[in-house]
Structure formats: C-alpha cells, structure tokens
C-alpha cells in the first residue's frame, strides 16, 4: 500500500512551483499550491487560530467527517449538497473561514459564498489536517478528540498528528 501511495504522490514532491508557505511541510505545500485554484483569500492555520470568537468557521466536509472531528464551534455546511440557505442567518460582512480536509472543497464553497455576496470569506489553507498537524484541538460531540477524519488513505498521508479515522 505504501508503494501505491508513494507512486500517486511522487509527481507532487518533485514539482517546483512557487508556494505560499502557509503549511509546515514543503511537500504538502507543493501539493496545495497546485491543487487549489487560489481564487479566494487564503488564511493560514497560524492566523486562523488567533481569530476572535465572532469569526464563523464553516466545515465544508460531509456529515460523517464532521461527526468525527471539527474545529470548535464550526458549522457544518457540507460540500456535495451545499445549499446557500444554510448560511442565510450569517451577515454578509461577517468574517467567515471555510475549511475541509485539505482546502479544495472549502475553496469551492468559499467561491459560492462570495458569488452570493459574502464579502469577508477565507479558505483555511491546509484544512483541518494542517490545523491538527500544528497541534490545535479538534472536537467531536463529546469534546476534544484525538480522532480526525482522514478522508481516505491517499489524502490521509497529509495528516500527521492524532488518530486517523476513515469511516
């Protein structure tokens, strides 16, 4: 299995695109710099971890991922079945940080929010994986957990701290 994962990820480790440097791993940063479109403002985990309690975190992962682990007080909005009405109670000028596992799905949801008039939307660069990798807590329904939903074996290689959960 490690050989398969290495073969899938090898192209990303040899690319030398300019990167934003917002995650700790150079290989992860290279992957993200090519995976993301960079169409919305990106916020680093370091910056996001310092925001005040008025900031709204939106989780753009699916319900089964959210149940396993989420950033404290994040609201689940999903990805596959995202509906803009799920955020109608949020002021269009509120500071919103959208996240998913690595940042791809959250970037797409952030684009939809912006297209619907939200003016202060950021994508968490590196997603919940980088949040956990940098030592920040994640939560489930009972409180702080070491479990983090790792999406699948290919993407889970980027989650380096905590317990990986795939169901």
Task: For residue 12, name the pLDDT band (cuts at 50, 70, 90).
Answer: very low
Task: For residue 116, name the pLDDT band (cuts at 50, 70, 90).
Answer: very high
Task: For residue 158, name the pLDDT band (cuts at 50, 70, 90).
Answer: very high
Q: Give CA–CA dist 25/59, Å, rounded.
A: 23
**pLDDT by residue (tens digit) across 120-146?**
999 999 999 999 999 999 999 999 999
**pLDDT by residue (tens digit) across 16-27?**
333 345 798 999
Identify the structural domains of the chain with CATH numbers, from first to last: 38-165 (3.40.250.10)
pTM: 0.86
Identify the CA nearest to 97 among candidates 139, 50, 29. 50
Contact 99, 106 (CB under 8 A): yes
């Amino acid at each position: 299995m490690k050989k398969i994962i290495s073969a899938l990820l090898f192209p990303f480790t040899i690319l030398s695109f300019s990167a934003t440097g917002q995650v700790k791993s150079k290989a992860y940063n290279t992957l993200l710099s090519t995976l993301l479109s960079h169409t919305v403002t990106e916020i680093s985990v370091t910056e996001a971890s310092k925001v005040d309690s008025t900031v709204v975190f939106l989780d753009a992962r699916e319900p089964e991922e959210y149940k396993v682990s989420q950033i404290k007080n994040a609201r689940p909005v999903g990805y596959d079945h995202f509906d803009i009405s799920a955020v109608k109670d949020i002021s269009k000028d509120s500071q919103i940080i959208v996240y998913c596992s690595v940042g791809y799905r959250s970037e797409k949801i952030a684009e939809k929010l912006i297209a619907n008039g939200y003016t202060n939307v950021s994508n968490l660069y590196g997603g919940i994986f980088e949040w956990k990798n940098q030592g920040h807590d994640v939560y489930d329904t009972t409180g702080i957990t070491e479990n983090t939903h790792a999406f699948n074996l290919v993407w889970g290689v980027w989650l380096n701290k905590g317990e990986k959960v795939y169901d």
